[in-house]
Chains A and B, each alone.
Chain A
Amino acid sequence: MGDSAYSFSLTTFSRTGKLLQIEYALNAVSNGRTSLGIRARNGVVIVTDKKVQSTLIDTTATSKIESITPEAGMVFSGVGPDYRVLVKRARKKSQAYYRMYRDKQPVLQLVKDVAGVMQEFTQVS
């Protein structure tokens, strides 16, 4: 916690016990392009809509699906720039795991790490 005037969490409980900022974030997600995934018996598929406003945009220049470890990757719905931060963090975490254990980070651990970062931003200033 810093000493600045903003060193309180902006995600504050409402009187009814709701975290409104999180609900608004979820609204941002449900306004975002659709993504979906299916776990099959022998693998997983994720797909996403990446429609853009103009036909002049080069859609090959950006990608929404990113790999994190050689055997895991992710996609998002919502605010694109926020996603980049999470991708960077996730890769860094899994790289730290590799440095420590010389092995690929299990998917659930990766998920917990990213979820931890997301939780942090709802509470830590």
Chain B
Amino acid sequence: MSIMHHTSYSSNIKLIKHHTLLYPTTPPILTHFHTHDNFQQSGGVRPFGVSLLVAGYDDEGPSLYQVDPSGAYFGWKATAIGKNYVNGKAFLEKRFNEEMELEDAVHTALLTLREGFEGEMTCDNIEVAVVDDTRVFRSLTAAEIQDYLDEAK
């Protein structure tokens, strides 16, 4: 079978072809093995129209970063981006304290989001993700989000 792989250094091995796996509609981590190909920078036509919030837990402990379209990045204790971010940050400044546990933080986050929210917040129109000291980043399920929303009422 290996004779069928006509590959040379840094060329792309087409994994999918040789497997009987059906390609799922949401691409799995498999896609990330397709490295080395067409990765020479070609863009730069316009900046990215996004700011990011990156959350993680590593050897340094928990951390939260913001990255802006300019490439500038900041570490935050708590912050907001997007529509109404000024009010969101002002609200967080009042509510945040250093001793906060993750459970409280989730509640505070939802309260802050609700401040500027048009209409009612439900488990379908928001997303929540956490990373705790087990160091597993995960999105909460709709049921988990609903539980938090019910507690907040």
What residues of chain A have their CB less than 8 Å away from a CB belonging to chain B? 6, 9-11, 19, 21-22, 25-26, 28-52, 59-60, 63-65, 67-79, 82-83, 85-86, 91-92, 95-96, 104, 106-108, 110-112, 114-125
**7 residue pairs bridging A and B, Cβ less than 8 Å apart:** A43-B105, A45-B129, A63-B139, A65-B127, A72-B131, A74-B55, A118-B69
**Given contacts A26-B68, A70-B135, could you give 12 more A-B pairs where the C-beta distance is less than 8 Å?**
A10-B44, A29-B82, A37-B109, A38-B64, A42-B101, A43-B57, A60-B142, A64-B127, A67-B129, A69-B56, A72-B54, A121-B45
Interface SS of B by simple majority: mixed
Contacts of A107 in B (CB 8 A): 54, 56-58, 60, 63, 65
Q: How many chain B residues touch the partner (CB < 8 A)?
A: 81
Q: Check A32 against B54 for contact (C-beta < 8 Å).
A: no
Give Cα A6 to B32, complex, Å: 31
- 0/1 per residue, B61-96, Cβ < 8 Å to A? 011110111111100111111111100100010001
Contact present for B82 and A106 (CB under 8 Å) = no
CB-based contact B52/A114 at 8 Å? yes
CB distance from B88 to the nearest CB of A (A): 5
A59 closest partner in B (C-beta): B124
Known contacts A44-B56, A45-B128: does B62 contact A39 (CB below 8 Å)?
yes
